[in-house]
Amino acid sequence: MLNSMSRRGGTFLPTVHSRSCFTRRQVLVMGGGALLAVVPALAAGAPAGGAWRDSTNARAVIGAAAPVTEGITLHLPNVSDSGAFLPLRLSVEHSQDDFPDTVHVIAPENPFPRVAVFRFTPLAGRARIATRIRLDVSQTVIAVARMRSGTVRVAERAVRIASSGCITPADGNWSEAMRTRVRVPVFEAGVPGEVVTLIKHPMENGLGPDAPPKRIIERFEARLDGEPALRATFGRSVAADPYLRFHLAPRAPGMLRLEWREDTGRRAVERLRVEVR
Protein backbone atom coordinates (compact mmCIF):
# COMPACT_ATOMS: atom_id res chain seq x y z
CA MET A 1 0.00 0.00 0.00
CA LEU A 2 1.27 3.42 -0.90
CA ASN A 3 0.05 5.42 2.04
CA SER A 4 3.36 7.15 2.70
CA MET A 5 6.31 8.41 0.70
CA SER A 6 7.38 6.15 -2.16
CA ARG A 7 10.73 4.36 -2.04
CA ARG A 8 12.31 7.46 -3.50
CA GLY A 9 10.60 9.46 -0.80
CA GLY A 10 11.57 12.07 1.69
CA THR A 11 9.89 15.13 2.97
CA PHE A 12 9.40 17.79 0.38
CA LEU A 13 6.72 20.08 1.63
CA PRO A 14 7.27 23.59 0.44
CA THR A 15 9.68 24.93 2.94
CA VAL A 16 10.13 41.50 5.59
CA HIS A 17 10.52 42.43 8.37
CA SER A 18 11.01 46.17 8.67
CA ARG A 19 10.19 48.76 11.27
CA SER A 20 8.96 52.23 10.48
CA CYS A 21 7.94 55.05 12.79
CA PHE A 22 5.10 57.45 11.99
CA THR A 23 3.43 60.23 13.86
CA ARG A 24 -0.26 59.89 14.74
CA ARG A 25 -1.07 62.51 12.08
CA GLN A 26 0.83 60.56 9.40
CA VAL A 27 -1.01 57.38 10.30
CA LEU A 28 -4.38 59.14 10.02
CA VAL A 29 -3.46 60.67 6.67
CA MET A 30 -2.18 57.39 5.28
CA GLY A 31 -4.93 55.23 6.76
CA GLY A 32 -7.39 55.39 3.86
CA GLY A 33 -4.78 54.58 1.22
CA ALA A 34 -3.26 51.79 3.29
CA LEU A 35 -6.66 50.19 3.76
CA LEU A 36 -7.36 50.33 0.05
CA ALA A 37 -4.00 48.70 -0.64
CA VAL A 38 -4.83 45.78 1.65
CA VAL A 39 -8.31 45.07 0.32
CA PRO A 40 -7.25 43.54 -3.05
CA ALA A 41 -4.81 41.23 -1.28
CA LEU A 42 -7.56 39.88 0.95
CA ALA A 43 -10.24 39.52 -1.69
CA ALA A 44 -11.09 35.94 -2.67
CA GLY A 45 -12.05 36.90 -6.22
CA ALA A 46 -11.36 39.59 -8.76
CA PRO A 47 -13.19 42.90 -8.42
CA ALA A 48 -15.55 43.88 -11.24
CA GLY A 49 -12.88 46.03 -12.91
CA GLY A 50 -9.93 43.83 -11.92
CA ALA A 51 -6.38 43.49 -13.17
CA TRP A 52 -7.48 40.96 -15.79
CA ARG A 53 -8.82 43.85 -17.87
CA ASP A 54 -5.29 45.21 -18.30
CA SER A 55 -3.70 41.83 -19.06
CA THR A 56 -3.43 40.90 -22.73
CA ASN A 57 -2.84 37.27 -21.77
CA ALA A 58 -5.88 37.11 -19.48
CA ARG A 59 -8.16 38.78 -22.03
CA ALA A 60 -6.96 36.34 -24.71
CA VAL A 61 -8.14 33.44 -22.52
CA ILE A 62 -11.41 35.13 -21.52
CA GLY A 63 -12.30 36.15 -25.06
CA ALA A 64 -15.81 37.53 -25.46
CA ALA A 65 -17.10 35.93 -22.24
CA ALA A 66 -18.28 38.00 -19.29
CA PRO A 67 -16.22 36.53 -16.41
CA VAL A 68 -17.64 35.90 -12.94
CA THR A 69 -15.73 35.89 -9.67
CA GLU A 70 -17.70 33.20 -7.86
CA GLY A 71 -16.61 29.58 -7.65
CA ILE A 72 -12.86 30.07 -7.95
CA THR A 73 -10.29 30.67 -5.20
CA LEU A 74 -6.65 31.70 -5.53
CA HIS A 75 -4.26 31.76 -2.55
CA LEU A 76 -0.79 33.32 -2.47
CA PRO A 77 1.12 35.04 0.35
CA ASN A 78 0.33 38.73 0.71
CA VAL A 79 4.01 39.60 1.27
CA SER A 80 7.28 37.74 0.66
CA ASP A 81 10.92 38.75 0.94
CA SER A 82 11.67 36.82 -2.27
CA GLY A 83 9.69 36.07 -5.40
CA ALA A 84 11.56 32.83 -6.11
CA PHE A 85 9.40 30.27 -4.25
CA LEU A 86 5.84 31.47 -3.73
CA PRO A 87 3.34 28.77 -2.71
CA LEU A 88 0.17 28.93 -4.80
CA ARG A 89 -3.11 27.12 -4.15
CA LEU A 90 -5.99 27.17 -6.59
CA SER A 91 -9.43 25.56 -6.51
CA VAL A 92 -12.48 25.68 -8.77
CA GLU A 93 -15.95 24.61 -7.67
CA HIS A 94 -17.70 22.33 -10.13
CA SER A 95 -20.25 19.61 -10.76
CA GLN A 96 -19.61 16.42 -12.68
CA ASP A 97 -21.41 17.98 -15.64
CA ASP A 98 -19.58 21.31 -15.51
CA PHE A 99 -15.92 20.58 -14.89
CA PRO A 100 -13.22 23.17 -15.70
CA ASP A 101 -11.61 22.39 -19.05
CA THR A 102 -8.62 24.67 -18.44
CA VAL A 103 -7.31 26.84 -15.62
CA HIS A 104 -4.71 29.47 -16.53
CA VAL A 105 -2.34 31.16 -14.06
CA ILE A 106 -0.99 34.51 -15.25
CA ALA A 107 1.56 36.89 -13.72
CA PRO A 108 1.09 40.00 -15.89
CA GLU A 109 4.24 41.83 -14.77
CA ASN A 110 6.63 38.90 -15.28
CA PRO A 111 8.85 38.89 -18.38
CA PHE A 112 6.89 35.79 -19.47
CA PRO A 113 3.42 36.20 -17.95
CA ARG A 114 2.01 32.75 -18.69
CA VAL A 115 2.85 30.76 -15.57
CA ALA A 116 0.94 27.51 -16.12
CA VAL A 117 -2.14 25.93 -17.67
CA PHE A 118 -3.91 23.05 -15.92
CA ARG A 119 -6.33 20.69 -17.68
CA PHE A 120 -8.49 18.60 -15.38
CA THR A 121 -10.79 15.68 -16.12
CA PRO A 122 -13.56 14.21 -13.91
CA LEU A 123 -11.11 11.43 -12.95
CA ALA A 124 -9.36 14.06 -10.81
CA GLY A 125 -12.51 14.32 -8.70
CA ARG A 126 -11.58 17.83 -7.56
CA ALA A 127 -10.23 20.75 -9.55
CA ARG A 128 -7.58 21.77 -7.04
CA ILE A 129 -3.89 22.37 -7.51
CA ALA A 130 -0.97 23.51 -5.38
CA THR A 131 2.44 24.45 -6.74
CA ARG A 132 5.17 27.11 -6.39
CA ILE A 133 5.78 30.04 -8.72
CA ARG A 134 8.18 32.94 -9.32
CA LEU A 135 7.33 36.61 -9.48
CA ASP A 136 9.58 39.30 -10.91
CA VAL A 137 7.99 42.27 -9.13
CA SER A 138 5.05 43.02 -6.85
CA GLN A 139 1.86 42.50 -8.85
CA THR A 140 -1.61 40.97 -9.00
CA VAL A 141 -1.63 37.32 -10.09
CA ILE A 142 -4.63 36.20 -12.12
CA ALA A 143 -6.33 32.80 -12.44
CA VAL A 144 -8.83 32.16 -15.25
CA ALA A 145 -10.97 29.00 -15.39
CA ARG A 146 -12.94 28.08 -18.49
CA MET A 147 -15.80 25.72 -17.63
CA ARG A 148 -17.36 23.16 -19.96
CA SER A 149 -20.60 25.13 -19.81
CA GLY A 150 -18.79 28.09 -21.39
CA THR A 151 -18.71 30.10 -18.15
CA VAL A 152 -15.43 31.86 -17.38
CA ARG A 153 -14.33 32.46 -13.79
CA VAL A 154 -11.62 34.86 -12.66
CA ALA A 155 -9.74 35.24 -9.38
CA GLU A 156 -6.94 37.64 -8.49
CA ARG A 157 -4.40 37.98 -5.69
CA ALA A 158 -2.15 40.96 -5.01
CA VAL A 159 1.36 40.01 -3.85
CA ARG A 160 4.18 42.24 -2.64
CA ILE A 161 7.76 40.96 -2.92
CA ALA A 162 11.05 42.49 -1.85
CA SER A 163 13.31 40.89 -4.48
CA SER A 164 12.82 39.38 -7.93
CA GLY A 165 12.40 35.63 -8.26
CA CYS A 166 12.78 35.63 -12.04
CA ILE A 167 16.44 36.65 -12.06
CA THR A 168 17.45 34.48 -9.10
CA PRO A 169 20.25 32.27 -10.47
CA ALA A 170 19.32 28.62 -10.94
CA ASP A 171 21.23 25.97 -9.01
CA GLY A 172 24.00 25.02 -11.40
CA ASN A 173 24.15 21.43 -10.08
CA TRP A 174 22.26 19.33 -12.61
CA SER A 175 23.43 15.98 -11.25
CA GLU A 176 20.07 15.27 -9.56
CA ALA A 177 17.90 16.75 -12.30
CA MET A 178 14.89 14.62 -13.32
CA ARG A 179 14.78 12.65 -10.05
CA THR A 180 11.19 12.33 -8.91
CA ARG A 181 9.30 11.85 -5.64
CA VAL A 182 5.67 10.80 -5.34
CA ARG A 183 3.25 10.23 -2.48
CA VAL A 184 -0.18 8.67 -2.96
CA PRO A 185 -2.78 7.61 -0.39
CA VAL A 186 -4.87 4.46 -0.22
CA PHE A 187 -8.06 5.62 -1.90
CA GLU A 188 -11.69 5.03 -1.16
CA ALA A 189 -13.62 4.13 -4.31
CA GLY A 190 -14.70 7.31 -6.10
CA VAL A 191 -13.52 9.61 -3.29
CA PRO A 192 -10.85 12.16 -4.27
CA GLY A 193 -7.49 11.68 -2.58
CA GLU A 194 -4.44 13.90 -2.79
CA VAL A 195 -1.36 12.99 -4.81
CA VAL A 196 1.87 14.87 -4.04
CA THR A 197 4.71 15.04 -6.56
CA LEU A 198 8.07 16.73 -7.01
CA ILE A 199 10.79 16.56 -9.63
CA LYS A 200 14.29 17.85 -9.00
CA HIS A 201 15.04 20.44 -11.64
CA PRO A 202 16.70 23.90 -11.50
CA MET A 203 14.19 25.32 -14.02
CA GLU A 204 16.69 27.58 -15.77
CA ASN A 205 14.45 30.29 -17.21
CA GLY A 206 17.16 32.05 -19.22
CA LEU A 207 16.79 35.30 -17.28
CA GLY A 208 19.56 34.99 -14.71
CA PRO A 209 23.07 36.46 -14.82
CA ASP A 210 24.65 36.18 -18.27
CA ALA A 211 21.30 34.90 -19.64
CA PRO A 212 22.06 31.14 -19.74
CA PRO A 213 20.02 28.99 -22.14
CA LYS A 214 16.48 28.21 -21.05
CA ARG A 215 15.89 24.66 -19.79
CA ILE A 216 12.64 23.92 -17.97
CA ILE A 217 10.12 21.17 -17.22
CA GLU A 218 7.51 22.09 -19.77
CA ARG A 219 4.79 19.46 -19.38
CA PHE A 220 3.34 17.12 -16.76
CA GLU A 221 0.69 14.44 -17.18
CA ALA A 222 -1.08 12.04 -14.81
CA ARG A 223 -2.93 9.01 -16.21
CA LEU A 224 -4.65 6.11 -14.48
CA ASP A 225 -4.71 2.98 -16.63
CA GLY A 226 -4.27 5.23 -19.66
CA GLU A 227 -7.09 7.62 -18.77
CA PRO A 228 -5.93 11.23 -18.22
CA ALA A 229 -6.66 12.92 -14.88
CA LEU A 230 -4.46 16.03 -15.12
CA ARG A 231 -2.30 17.72 -17.73
CA ALA A 232 -0.14 20.74 -16.94
CA THR A 233 1.86 23.05 -19.17
CA PHE A 234 4.52 25.07 -17.35
CA GLY A 235 6.10 28.37 -18.33
CA ARG A 236 9.29 30.04 -17.15
CA SER A 237 7.64 31.37 -13.99
CA VAL A 238 7.24 27.99 -12.27
CA ALA A 239 9.70 27.70 -9.38
CA ALA A 240 12.69 25.37 -9.29
CA ASP A 241 12.00 21.74 -8.33
CA PRO A 242 8.45 21.78 -9.74
CA TYR A 243 6.02 20.63 -7.09
CA LEU A 244 2.37 19.64 -7.53
CA ARG A 245 -0.46 18.58 -5.27
CA PHE A 246 -3.54 17.40 -7.11
CA HIS A 247 -6.45 14.98 -6.65
CA LEU A 248 -7.39 11.62 -8.09
CA ALA A 249 -10.70 9.76 -7.64
CA PRO A 250 -10.20 6.15 -8.80
CA ARG A 251 -13.08 3.68 -8.54
CA ALA A 252 -10.89 0.60 -8.76
CA PRO A 253 -7.20 -0.28 -8.29
CA GLY A 254 -4.97 0.56 -11.22
CA MET A 255 -1.63 1.82 -12.44
CA LEU A 256 -0.90 5.52 -12.09
CA ARG A 257 1.56 6.86 -14.63
CA LEU A 258 3.16 10.28 -14.11
CA GLU A 259 5.31 11.89 -16.77
CA TRP A 260 7.40 15.06 -16.70
CA ARG A 261 8.82 16.36 -19.98
CA GLU A 262 11.68 18.85 -20.35
CA ASP A 263 11.71 21.31 -23.23
CA THR A 264 14.74 19.40 -24.59
CA GLY A 265 12.54 16.31 -25.00
CA ARG A 266 14.05 14.52 -21.99
CA ARG A 267 11.42 12.71 -19.88
CA ALA A 268 11.00 11.28 -16.39
CA VAL A 269 8.30 8.67 -15.74
CA GLU A 270 6.95 7.20 -12.49
CA ARG A 271 4.54 4.26 -12.31
CA LEU A 272 2.77 3.45 -9.07
CA ARG A 273 0.12 0.93 -8.17
CA VAL A 274 -3.01 2.67 -6.86
CA GLU A 275 -4.82 0.82 -4.08
CA VAL A 276 -8.57 1.27 -3.54
CA ARG A 277 -10.44 -0.03 -0.50
**Contact in structure between 169 and 184 (CB atoms under 8 Å):** no
Q: State residue 10's pLDDT score.
A: 40
148 in any annotated domain: yes
Specify which residues 272 forms β-bridges with.
Answer: 256
5 in any annotated domain: no
114 in any annotated domain: yes
Q: State residue 86's pLDDT score.
A: 98
17 in any annotated domain: no
Element (H, E) at 35: helix 24-42
242 in any annotated domain: yes
Strands 152-161 and 79-80: parallel
253 in any annotated domain: yes
Which residue spans within the chain are E strands per DSSP?
A: 72-75, 79-80, 86-92, 100-106, 114-120, 127-133, 139-147, 152-161, 180-183, 193-199, 217-224, 227-234, 243-248, 254-262, 267-274
Q: State residue 169's pLDDT score.
A: 79
Structural domain of residue 247, as residue ranges?
24-274
Selection from 254, 196, 207, 193 nearest residue 226 by Cα: 254
206 in any annotated domain: yes
Residue ranges of the chain whose pLDDT lies below 70: 1-49, 172
**Contact in structure between 159 and 135 (CB atoms under 8 Å):** yes
The domain total for the chain is 1
Cα of first residue to Cα of last residue in the chain, in angstroms, is: 10
5-39 per-position pLDDT tens digit: 443 334 343 433 333 333 333 333 334 443 333 33
CATH at residue 220: 2.60.40.2470
70 in any annotated domain: yes
